[in-house]
Structure 1
Amino acid sequence: MARRPGLSVRLKLTLSYTGFVMLAGVLLLAAMGVFLLAYQQLGRETLGVVISPPGRELIRAFAPAAVAVLLFLLVFGLSGGWFLAGRMLAPLNRITAATRTAATGSLSHRIRLPGRNDEFRELADAFDTMLAQLEALVAEQQRFAANASHELRTPLTVMQTLLDVARSDRGHDPAELVERLHVVNARAIELTEALLLLSRADQRSFTPEETDLSLLAEEAAETLLPLAEKRGVSLETAGEVAPASGSPALLLQMTTNLLHNAIVHNVPDGGTVRLTTSAGAGSAWLTVENTGEPLAPELIATLAEPFRRGTGRIRTDQAGVGLGLAIVRSIVRAHDGTLALEPRDGGGLRVTVRLPS
């Protein structure tokens, strides 16, 4: 925004300090003059003698000293105010320099303002926190963009390879080519839809509505029951009414993703998934537990990152596109909730979602 040039804050503070000092000096000198006149009048009435010059002569004698004092106060106020304003605004200059550095794209710089806590240091600490969050967010977005490009390029490369082979081999079975292209294309569509859902959750483009997490849990369990039976996993749902405010569609997608992840990443046969809901202390709770292999804490800390899978980047049947927990995390953030992942005793994962009621 174009603005007209104006006085600097340092100069404004200096003039303010000087004006205050001059006003105080004028009031003090005026009080002294009134006091001297009153003292002269009192001496004339009580003693009957003149112990000081008449009022006009007194003013003439007092005026040069008063002017000298005012000139001294003016010079002292300007120099002292300029120095003090510079000292007080020095932290603001550091904050401004850090802001300009961040505007160039460098988010690694920190102010780290020393000294005891005051308004400027609170501002500097808040700015450092904002820079740290922005740096982490930009790094996450860069990783996401690189991974998304890699994941999207893979099906396109496979389709290109299949078409090149079919063009060079005239005797290739067209039905087999169509079937393989259909599978690869379905994966590309699945990945694209997941990316769109993730973007929608991040933008919070929804109208909050009252919903019950227990009903969403039952609906998700009914939807994924065939998959659980196919993989030999038993589903258990329990809990109480858990009212929450948000998008029913996104919250259902969140519950479905958690349940799908618990079914797929489970023991081959005889595994269990337990889904419970609860409410209390102004919050609604959704917990999904599944049996499985023991998970290292450092691996659990990365499961909610985009395109990360507990079994690495090798994709098996129904393994998804690696965005399940990333979408869950974005939906939880969009609803001002929290997501906690922790290992179960004996193997498996426990995921707890807290949403404000």
Structure 2
Amino acid sequence: MIREPGMSVRLKLTLSYAGFLMLAGTLLLGAVGFFLLDYQDRALEVMPVVMAPSGRDLIKDFAPDAAIVMLLLLMFGLLGGWILAGRMLAPLNRITAATRQAATGSLAHRIELEGRDDEFRELADSFDAMLARLDAHVAEQRRFAANASHELRTPLAITQSLLEVARDDPERDIGELHERLRVVNARAIELTEALLLLSRADQRSFTREPVDLSLLAEEAAETLLPLAEKHGVAIETSGDVTAVNGSRALLLQLTTNLLHNAIVHNLPEGGTVQLRTTASATSSTLAVENTGEEVSPERIWTFTEPFQRGTERIRRDHVGVGLGLAIVKSIAQAHDGTLSLAPGAAGGLRVTVRLPGGSMSLGDRQDVSR
């Protein structure tokens, strides 16, 4: 947007200070002149006419001094206003300089405005907090882009190697090659879909509607029951109606990912997974806890990072794409919620998703159940 050049804020404040001072001086000199004329009228009553000054002479004598005073007031108002405006706008200049520096891509700079709390201090602190969030977000996006590039390159490299081997060995079993290519392609598709889902959650490009987390937990448990039976894991669901406002598809994906991780990262046999939903006046909670090996608290914070698939966490028969908890975290944040992880009481992991509570009528519950 092209704008015409105008006066700076400092010059405007200077002229405002000087104008106000001139107005105050004019009113003051006017009041003095009024009192002098009133004094002259009273002097005429008690003094001879020849001894009393005329109104014209009084104004004539008073006007030069008044003009000098007004000129001094103007000079003092301009100089003082310029200095005062500069001191008042100094914090704003620092904020402007930091903004320009951030516009060049440097997000590590902070204003750190000193002094007592006022409007400028509040603005500077808010700007510093925004820069910190942007810096962390950009760093996270860079790590994610690097990891995603590496992960996407892996299946493509495997495909290229298989094709080169098939080209160099015409007698190779084509059926085996097709099967291996199918597996690699399926993994690439799964990874791409996970990345698209993660991007959709980050952009918050979804429509909010009343959703019952308890029904989503039951649906996820029913969907993943064959996988749980395959791994010898029992699923337990409990909880009353737990209403939230959000995307049913994304929240179902969140619940499914949590349950899937809890099943896969469990005991070799005889494991359990518990899904509980609770609601309070202000929030709704989904908690998923499983049995398994003990997890050190130092490693828990890495679980929500994309592509974290440490061998200690992942079953050999189900590698996954390493985006399960990263997607859960992104979906929770997109719904203004939080994700917390903690070691289970007897091993395993306890994952808690807390979302802002919503309202759900009987008709909404019937629609959701259908």
| TM-score normalised by the chain length of structure 2 | 0.93
Alpha-carbon distance, 1:227 to partner: 0.7
Aligned to 1:181: 181
Aligned to 1:44: 44
**Structure 1, 303-312 or 222-231: larger mean CA deviation:** 303-312
Alpha-carbon distance, 1:180 to partner: 0.8
Matches within 5 A, 1:119-268: 119-268=119-268
In 1: Cα distance, 2:315 partner to 2:3 partner: 57
Contact 1:264 1:319 in 2 (8 A): no
Alpha-carbon distance, 1:317 to partner: 2.4
Aligned to 1:116: 116
Alpha-carbon distance, 1:298 to partner: 2.6
Contact 2:265 2:313 in 1 (8 A): no
Q: Name the SS of the counterpart of 1:171 in structure 2.
A: coil
Matched letter for residue 334 of structure 1: A
Alpha-carbon distance, 1:319 to partner: 3.1
Aligned to 1:64: 64
Query: In structure 2, do the counterparts of structure 1 residues 313 and 151 end up closer, same or farther at CA, with 3 Å as the change threshold?
Result: farther
**Structure 1, 198-207 or 246-255: larger mean CA deviation:** 198-207
Deviations 1:285-312 (A, max 9, x none): 1100011222222321121111113536
Contact 1:207 1:246 in 2 (8 A): yes
Any unmatched runs of 5+ in structure 1?
A: none
Matched letter for residue 146 of structure 1: A
Contact 1:299 1:310 in 2 (8 A): no
In 2: Cα distance, 1:19 partner to 1:164 partner: 84
Contact 1:52 1:58 in 2 (8 A): no
Aligned to 1:301: 301
In 1: Cα distance, 2:352 partner to 2:239 partner: 14
**Structure 1, 170-179 or 190-199: larger mean CA deviation:** 170-179
In 1: Cα distance, 2:239 partner to 2:42 partner: 93
**Structure 1, 233-242 or 299-308: larger mean CA deviation:** 299-308
Matches within 5 A, 1:271-290: 271-290=271-290
Matched letter for residue 219 of structure 1: E
Matched letter for residue 241 of structure 2: V
Q: Name the SS of the counterpart of 1:277 in structure 2.
A: strand
Q: Is 1:318 aligned to residue 318 of structure 2?
A: yes
In 2: Cα distance, 1:155 partner to 1:315 partner: 20
Aligned to 2:82: 82
Matched letter for residue 348 of structure 2: G
Query: In structure 2, do the counterparts of structure 1 residues 312 and 110 end up closer, same or farther at CA, with 3 Å as the change threshold?
Result: farther
Matched letter for residue 32 of structure 1: V
In 2: Cα distance, 1:104 partner to 1:316 partner: 46
In 2: Cα distance, 1:209 partner to 1:56 partner: 83
RMSD: 1.5
Query: In structure 2, do the counterparts of structure 1 residues 225 and 353 end up closer, same or farther at CA, with 3 Å as the change threshold?
Result: same
**Total equivalences in the alignment:** 356
Alpha-carbon distance, 1:218 to partner: 0.2
Alpha-carbon distance, 1:52 to partner: 4.8
Query: In structure 2, do the counterparts of structure 1 residues 187 and 315 end up closer, same or farther at CA, with 3 Å as the change threshold?
Result: farther
In 1: Cα distance, 2:16 partner to 2:163 partner: 78
Identity across aligned pairs (percent)?
72
Contact 1:303 1:310 in 2 (8 A): no
Aligned to 2:363: none
Q: Name the SS of the counterpart of 2:236 in structure 1.
A: strand
Deviations 1:96-144 (A, max 9, x none): 1111111111100111111111111111111111111000000000000
Query: In structure 2, do the counterparts of structure 1 residues 295 and 49 end up closer, same or farther at CA, with 3 Å as the change threshold?
Result: farther
In 2: Cα distance, 1:330 partner to 1:246 partner: 13
Deviations 1:151-198 (A, max 9, x none): 000011111111111111122111111111111110000000101111
In 2: Cα distance, 1:32 partner to 1:77 partner: 21
**Structure 1, 214-223 or 279-288: larger mean CA deviation:** 279-288
Alpha-carbon distance, 1:215 to partner: 0.4
In 2: Cα distance, 1:42 partner to 1:144 partner: 90
Query: In structure 2, do the counterparts of structure 1 residues 35 and 227 end up closer, same or farther at CA, with 3 Å as the change threshold?
Result: same
